[in-house]
Amino acid sequence: MRLLLFGCTGFIGTELVPALLKEGHEISIISRKNINNLKINIPLDKFNFLKIDLSKKENWSNENFISKIKDSEGIINLIGEPIADKKWTDSQKEKIENSRINSTKFLMDTLKKYRINPKVIVNGSAIGFYGTSLTKEFNENSNCGNDFLANLCEKWEEVANEKPFFSRLVIFRIGIVLEAEGGALGKMLPIFKIGLGGPIGDGKQWMSWIHRSDLCGLIINALVDNNFSGVFNAVAPEPVSMKDFSKTLGRCLNRPNLLPVPGTILKLLLGDGAKLVLEGQKVLSIKLQEKIYKFKYPLLENAIYASTKN
């Protein structure tokens, strides 16, 4: 397929773009970054690239961009300011929200304005949709939560559902993505490797995770498999507590798991965003049955070993 990719130049795109090319897809990447600043480690002549800042509405009328979007058969939209990289000040919350809501709305408006009907649109979301809980279990039928991230995900999904009538829409509510060079695991590895690792907070909170290879596999399958339609929780089958995650990571690295990170420190660093890590949520997928997708890394230990073997 001829694919148009938004927000696929960082941690997830590093693996997703090469995997899509391996499947024989033709890739066009839209980014506000310079092409030489992309983290994707593949020759630049293997994909098409357009530098454009889509946070500005006027750029959605750019002729080169319109040409690309008219030519696309499928769209992958993972655009958005990183959730947990900075403290949630009011201005940062606004940036997190606008980067997802406005850009996705502009995308859907553009598709309808030019009467473009891609075969499939894969849109991001997050398990933050459900809010946080130490005790509840959530699946795709569970109600939306009532905090900043839950409201953000609900709005993002509502805007994505304004897609063209004939386009199949797949929304992935993505869990904590594991791989060594980024995300939560990437931040924890250096601490554990020097023997100073331990659970964050009291360790009772749930971590609903997915290995990056499985997330990429889900996206690739969703492009061509009509069984993928609507909302799916992109999480591995076995969520774990933070305490068990920390133990497993220490065991895989042959390092101690002794020094818990106090929640107060995390709150100083992340502000309201610390709630995601300190409270967590237990999320399962009732829609990702084995006949639809077979996980490469269904168990945490295998996922961590695969991420840290190098």
pLDDT classification of 298: cutoffs 50, 70, 90: very high
pLDDT classification of 270: cutoffs 50, 70, 90: low
Higher-pLDDT residue of 199 and 124 is 124
CATH annotation of 2-179+209-236: 3.40.50.720
pLDDT of residue 97: 92
pLDDT classification of 199: cutoffs 50, 70, 90: confident
Which whole number is the average pLDDT over 286-297? 91
Domain boundaries, the chain: 2-179+209-236
Question: Under 8 Å CB-to-CB from 255, ≥6 apart: which residues?
Answer: 192, 193, 195, 197
pLDDT classification of 310: cutoffs 50, 70, 90: low
Entry pTM = 0.94
